[in-house]
Structure 1
Amino acid sequence: MHTTYRILNKAIEGLLVLIFSLLVLDVVWQVVSRYVVGQSSSFTEEFARFSLIWLTVLGAAYINGQKEGHLSMDFLLSKLPVDKQKRRHRIIQVVMAIFALVIMVIGGGNLVYTTLKLGQLSPALLVPLGYVYAIVPICGLMIIFFSVYHIKITFNANNNEY
């Protein structure tokens, strides 16, 4: 499981770098085409929007995989004894996994299915919107995997920290 965790983290990191690079190139092209060429490209705004959607949702899954990456207020949690801290971490991971399952996997899967079934296309790029939204259930599955991994780590931890 640890090998899968490391491979998945590296793959997400690479994908995030690629998407961010494409987003930067897209925005630079949009500025150049608007102010140097004098005519704005029709696809750049839509591509930037879709890139930002993917970047945000993938980034959320990546941060969930990093145990130190969450923005949290853990002052009171850090005052608990170590065994209770581990229990609270497990509860938090279970809640995140349930959220990812219900909202991202089931709800996102329904969104992808509906948009593909209706044949909705993006106006400028003519990409089926179901492909754009497919990142939501995919990242939901990643979040569930990361939550299970972190729960397993807390059960197997022999030291006093998580």
Structure 2
Amino acid sequence: MERIYLTLNKIIEALLVIIFGLLVIDVVWQVLSRYVVGQSSSFTEEFARFSLIWLTVLGAAHINGSREGHLSMDFLLSKLPEEKQVKRKKVIQILMALFALIIMVIGGGNLVYITLSLGQISSALQIPLGFVYAIVPVSGLIIIFFSIYNIKKLNF
């Protein structure tokens, strides 16, 4: 499980770097085409929006897995004895996994299914919106995996 965790973390980090790099290139192209050429590109705003969606949702899954930089208020938790801290951390991980399952995997899966079955296509890029929204259930599955990993790590 450790090997899968490390491999998945590296893949997600690489994807985040690639998406962020594409987002920067896209925004720079938008500015250059607007002010240098005098006419902005039609696809850049939509691509920036979609890549920001992917960057945010996938980044949230990565933060959950790496446990670094995760915003939390642990003042009260740190005052508890070690045994109770571990139990509370397990409860938190279970709640995060349930949230990811219900909201992201089931709800996001329904969103992807509906947008694909309705044939919704983005206006500028002409891609199915279901592909854009597919990152939500995928990230939900990643969060569930990371929550299970974190619970197993707390047992040792």
Sort the TM-score into its range (normalised by shorter chain): over 0.9
Which stretch shifts more, 59-68 or 18-27?
Answer: 59-68
TM-score, scaled to structure 2: 0.99
The CA distance in 2 between the partners of 1:97 and 1:23, in whole Å, is 29
SS where residue 125 of structure 2 aligns?
A: coil
The CA distance in 1 between the partners of 2:17 and 2:68, in whole Å, is 20
The CA distance in 1 between the partners of 2:29 and 2:51, in whole Å, is 15
SS where residue 151 of structure 1 aligns?
A: helix
The CA distance in 1 between the partners of 2:107 and 2:21, in whole Å, is 29
Runs (4+) of structure 1 moved beyond 4 Å? none
SS where residue 138 of structure 2 aligns?
A: helix
How much does 1:69 deviate?
2.6
The CA distance in 2 between the partners of 1:69 and 1:127, in whole Å, is 34
Paired residues for 1:70-89 under 5 Å: 70-89=70-89
State whether structure 2 residue 137 is matched by structure 1 residue 137.
Answer: yes
Q: Cα deviation per residue 1:92-125 (whole Å; 9 max; x = unaligned)? A: 0000000000000000000000000000000000
- What's the counterpart of residue 112 of structure 1? 112
- What's the counterpart of residue 154 of structure 2? 154
* Structure 1 letter corresponding to 2:40: S
**Structure 2: 5+ residue stretches without partners:** none
Paired residues for 1:1-162 under 5 Å: 1-156=1-156
The CA distance in 1 between the partners of 2:100 and 2:34, in whole Å, is 40
TM-score, scaled to structure 1: 0.95
* Structure 1 letter corresponding to 2:133: Y
**Structure 1: 5+ residue stretches without partners:** 157-162
Alignment size in residue pairs:
156
The CA distance in 1 between the partners of 2:146 and 2:12, in whole Å, is 12
- What's the counterpart of residue 160 of structure 1? none
* Structure 1 letter corresponding to 2:54: W
The CA distance in 1 between the partners of 2:68 and 2:40, in whole Å, is 42
How much does 1:70 deviate?
1.3
Provide the alpha-carbon RMSD of the alignment. 0.5
SS where residue 121 of structure 2 aligns?
A: coil
